[in-house]
Amino acid sequence: MSAEASNPEVPLVGSPYEYRVALGEKVGDIGIRSALDSGDWGFIHSFQTGSAVDGPGMRIVAWTSGCQFQCVYCHNPDTWKLTNGMPVTLTRAVEVVNQYRHSLRTMKGGLTISGGEPLMQHRFVLKLFAAVRKAGVHTALDTNGYLGDRLSDEDLGHIDLVMLGLKAITPDLHQRLTGKDNQPVHEFARRLAAKRRPVWIRFVIVPGWTDDLNEVGKMADFAASLGNVERVDVLPFHQLGRFKWEKLGMEYQLRDAQPPSKEKVEEVLARFRAAGLKVV
């Protein structure tokens, strides 16, 4: 297939807050299977340039489509469906990243692959990382960790940083928050720890869901027990994605939720610090 052929008018470089749907809907089941099996092309919502919040330094971020979680607070529900993303060849994706490689190196940044959930397309992700790493670009994987067993130990050695999104520690809460069990996530976290791979934890404070300090304490203790967590990004819930839920016609449980107060954010940060972790 000719990647990007179906939607030539949609720019590849954009923002995760752009609403993008059905960009790969013409691909079909055989094409999807071919992409997932070969990793020679993938589905991407957009490339964002100049991000200072998705890993160290200044970064280009590839926002992939496809996610097996359905987080109640997700700000990019248009990325859940694989074929909402744009079909892009590996060659083209490498070109996009490599045109920025000198400035990425100068600004101590690199490529972050986020989503959606990047490991839905793990072969594409690994090939893209391998190609840009050859050009000296730092690689970071922003993942919910559920499909971590798709990565071999050798694969892990080719990813410079894993940014692991931990949603909740209490199993029932995690299930209600994401629709999935957190056991595979914890197994991946422990495996990364055993391999001494650098990890940043990402934790979203969702009022009424994850802001209970007892739950936060369990999260902090789990993160601290790993021994390989370089820092924790504490991210306050926001409403920038509400319009996407509305456009998709999906029920949004957090429609009227407010971002956490400064005091609550401070309390959460303090709990992570008390566990000996660096927080941002």
Binding site for ligand SF4 (CB under 6 A): 67, 69-71, 74, 76, 79, 115-117, 144
Q: Which two tokens stand for residue 52?
A: 């200072």
Rounded CA separation 183/148 (Å)? 11
Q: Which is nearer to ligand SF4, 76 or 121 (CB)?
A: 76
Q: Which is nearer to ligand SF4, 94 or 164 (CB)?
A: 164
Q: Which is nearer to ligand SF4, 131 or 201 (CB)?
A: 201
**Closest by CA position to 159, among listed 132, 184, 188, 182:** 132
Instruction: Give the shortest CB-238-to-ligand SF4 separation in angstroms.
Output: 12
Instruction: Give the shortest CB-212-to-ligand SF4 separation in angstroms.
Output: 19
| Distances 264 to 125, 232, 234, 259, 261 between C-alpha atoms, Å | 36, 16, 11, 10, 5
Q: Look-up: residue for tokens 């960790």?
A: 145
184-198 residues labelled b (16+ CB within 10 A) or e (exposed)? ebbebbebbeeeebb
Instruction: Give the shortest CB-241-to-ligand SF4 separation in angstroms.
Output: 9
Pairing type for strands 41-51 and 59-64 reads antiparallel
Instruction: Give the shortest CB-268-to-ligand SF4 separation in angstroms.
Output: 18
Q: Which is nearer to ligand SF4, 4 or 117 (CB)?
A: 117
